Every structure is written in structure tokens, then in C-alpha cells.
């Protein structure tokens, strides 16, 4: 499946580069977080907020659809000392994620934004990509005995550093003159693994991890 997605990724990228469409180059940056075995919050722990940033190219296909390809660095981290009921377990981790993706953007009122009839225009985003993940886990502060066997299992379990990831989310865009576009988007990434934090058996092995980025985007149109 990974080889098939990689072939599709390369083919789409080459087609987009040669397509006769307007092109925007942009930056994205903002707070990042994750949901997994070192969080109690159903979204992410505010104390564990990190940062993500990246570069992207957006290719307009018609008045409502665009494709975007980019590379994004997203840091995630967690510490049991942020949760009073887990301070005895005392796990901690950090992970510097590298993501390559191609996503589609559906913006139904793009023409109204470009014509100045809308101040902001909403859009949906979704696609697929590849993720490099290499969690750095700290079990050294663990104070109990009940999870020792599971900690050993987590330490010894082999897991791939390369994952297929599915991003999906929502955003809004704001047009500045004719060539600049500001945006704000919230995108959740699902990587089909319980080891973003390097913890599974000694946490919640029934539920996979995910991560997210709340990103501010700035893009400049290059031409048509």
C-alpha cells in the first residue's frame, strides 16, 4: 500500500507542476498537539502544546477546487507530570515528525473571495501523505511495578518509522489584494499507529494516536 501511495504521490506532484493553473507558494506555522497515551484530554493537553511549520505549493484546478503539496515539521510531546493522576507512572516523550502530503481543498465560495464579495471564505481539506516518526520515550521516572512487563514490551516492540498518514480538516481564507492569501486551518492527522509516543501496551493499546496542527498560512500567487 505504501508503494502504491508513493507512486500516486509522485504522479500527482508531476501533473500538478506541469498543469496550466495558477500557483501559490506559502508558509504554514502554528501550535501542534497530539492525542494518545500521555494525555487525558479528548483533544490535546494545552500544557503539551508544541509547534509546527512547513512549506507548501497550492495549484488551483477550478473555481472551487485546488490541490496542495507540502512538507511540514510538527513537534509533539507529552509528560505524565502534567496529569495529577499519572504522576506515579511518570512517562514522558517527544517526537519530531516530518510529513510529506498532497491534499485537496474544496472552497465553494472561492470566486466570491477573489471578487471581493466575501471577506473570508471557508474550505475543507483532506488527502494523504507519508510521515517520518521517531519517538524519544523516557521511562526512567516510572515508580511502580504493575506496568513493568508492559513497559518492557513497549521497549522491545519494533515499529516502522515511516507511516501513511491521512490529514483532514477545515479552514478559512482571506484575500489581500490580488496576490496574497491569508488562511487559518485546523487539520487532524491520522497515522494508523499507537506509537507516536512510543507507548502502547503500558498505556491504551486499544486506541491509536493522532496529531493535529492549528496553522496560520500565508501564500503568494505566482501567476497563471
Within a domain: 193:
yes
Residue 58 β-bridge partners = 24, 68
Supply angle C-alpha 203, 207, 208, rounded to 5: 100
Confidence of residue 3 (pLDDT cuts 50, 70, 90): low
- Boundaries of domain holding 216: 24-223
Within a domain: 19:
no
Q: Which whole number is the average pLDDT over 167-194?
A: 95
Residue 24 β-bridge partners = 58, 221
Burial 30-47 (b: 16+ CB within 10 A, else e): bebbbbbbbbeeeebbee
Within a domain: 16:
no
Average of per-residue pLDDT values in the chain:
88
Confidence of residue 209 (pLDDT cuts 50, 70, 90): very high
Q: Which whole number is the average pLDDT over 128-150?
A: 85
Number of domains, the chain: 1
Q: Which whole number is the average pLDDT over 154-164?
A: 92
Residue pLDDT, tens place only, 39-93: 877 778 888 999 999 999 999 998 899 999 999 999 999 998 887 777 778 899 9
Q: Which whole number is the average pLDDT over 178-187?
A: 95
Tell me the DSSP string of the chain.
Answer: -HHHHHHHHHHHHHHHHHSSS-EEEEEEEEEEEEESTT--SSS--GGG-EEEEEEEEEEE-SSSEEEEEEEEEEEEEEEGGGSGGGTTT--EEEEEEEEEEEEEEE-TTHHHHHTTS-SEEEEEEEEEEEEE---EEE-TT---STTHHHHHHHHH----SEEEEEEEEEEEEEEETTTEEEEEEEEEEE-S-S-SSS-STTS-TTS--EEEEEEEEEEEEEE-
Q: Which whole number is the average pLDDT over 113-139?
A: 93
- Quote the pLDDT of residue 141: 84
Report the CATH number that the domain containing residue 114 is assigned in CATH. 2.40.160.20
Confidence of residue 146 (pLDDT cuts 50, 70, 90): low
Within a domain: 102:
yes
Residue 162 β-bridge partners = 132
Within a domain: 169:
yes
- Quote the pLDDT of residue 133: 97
> At residue 9, does pLDDT exceed 90?
no
Amino acid at each position: 500500500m505504501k508503494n502504491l501511495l508513493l507512486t500516486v504521490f509522485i504522479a500527482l506532484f508531476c501533473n500538478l507542476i506541469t498543469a496550466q493553473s495558477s500557483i501559490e507558494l506559502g508558509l504554514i506555522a502554528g501550535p501542534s498537539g497530539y492525542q494518545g497515551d500521555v494525555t487525558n484530554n479528548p483533544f490535546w493537553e494545552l500544557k503539551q502544546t508544541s509547534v509546527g511549520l512547513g512549506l507548501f505549493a497550492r495549484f488551483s484546478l477550478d473555481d472551487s477546487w485546488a490541490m496542495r503539496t507540502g512538507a511540514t515539521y510538527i513537534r509533539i510531546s507529552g509528560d505524565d507530570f502534567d496529569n495529577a493522576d499519572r504522576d506515579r507512572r511518570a512517562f514522558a516523550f517527544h517526537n519530531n515528525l516530518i510529513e510529506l502530503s498532497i491534499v485537496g481543498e474544496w472552497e465553494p465560495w472561492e470566486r466570491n473571495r477573489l471578487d471581493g464579495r466575501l471577506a473570508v471564505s471557508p474550505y475543507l481539506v483532506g488527502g494523504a501523505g507519508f510521515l517520518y516518526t521517531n519517538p524519544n520515550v523516557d521511562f526512567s521516572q516510572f515508580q511502580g511495578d504493575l506496568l513493568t512487563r508492559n513497559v518492557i514490551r513497549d521497549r522491545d516492540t519494533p515499529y516502522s518509522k515511516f507511516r501513511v498518514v491521512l490529514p483532514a480538516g477545515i479552514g478559512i481564507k482571506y484575500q489581500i489584494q490580488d496576490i496574497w492569501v491569508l488562511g487559518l486551518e485546523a487539520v487532524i492527522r491520522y497515522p494508523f499507529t499507537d506509537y507516536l509516543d512510543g507507548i502502547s501496551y503500558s498505556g491504551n493499546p486499544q486506541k491509536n494516536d493522532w496529531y493535529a496542527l492549528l496553522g496560520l498560512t500565508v501564500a503568494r500567487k505566482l501567476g497563471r
